[in-house]
Amino acid sequence: MFNQKPIASNDHAAWFETNSNDPKRHLLLVLKDGVPFGFAQFNLSNCSTVADWGFYVDPSGSKGQGYYLGQAILSFGYDTLRLHRITGQVLNDNRSSIELHKRLGFISEGILRSHHLTEKGYQDVHFFGLLSVDWKESLQE
């Protein structure tokens, strides 16, 4: 999720082949009205009820699609996979993703300063976490 360079088709295919066979990973294509508009994944930690997530949405898509994707994928994570905790990491210059995490109810759990090198230089990495109990409470509101 931190790679910002174009990825060749054969590299995508190799990544998918490797990761789709990993029992600790869940790769999800997200559809709205039968049309794909995003991708999300869960990477389970050594504790099978804790996962890190990542996602992409079609950059040319409609406003609000990230929130729709987030709601759908979090529901899958908590209701289907029965996760206890979902974590996310976001580069500092991805302000829309930082705001989306907050809007979805994630709590900021810290920032690693100058932690990831990009073409723009070293970036801070924001850490977020959301517990299943907090997710379920937010649905009641």
- Give the model confidence (pLDDT) of 86-101 as tens digits: 999 999 999 999 999 9
Q: pLDDT digit string (tens) for 29-59?
A: 998 889 888 999 999 999 999 999 999 998 8
**Partner residues linked to 29 by β-bridges:** 39
pTM score of the predicted model: 0.89
Reported as type and span, the H/E element at residue 141 is none
Confidence of residue 24 (pLDDT cuts 50, 70, 90): very high
Asked if residue 25 has pLDDT above 90, the reply is yes
Q: Provide, for the chain, the percentages of residues in helix, strand and coil under a 3-state DSSP scheme, each rounded to the nearest 5.
A: 35, 40, 30
Share of the chain above pLDDT 90, in %: 67
For domain 9-140, which architecture applies?
3-Layer(aba) Sandwich (3.40)
Confidence of residue 5 (pLDDT cuts 50, 70, 90): low
Measured distance CA(87)–CA(47) in Å, rounded: 13
Determine the Cα–Cα distance for residues 89 and 97; give it in Å rounded to an integer: 9
| Segments making up each domain of the chain, as ranges | 9-140
Within 8 A by CB and 6+ apart from 39, the residues are 27, 28, 29, 30, 55, 56
Mean of the pLDDT values across residues 93-119? Answer: 94
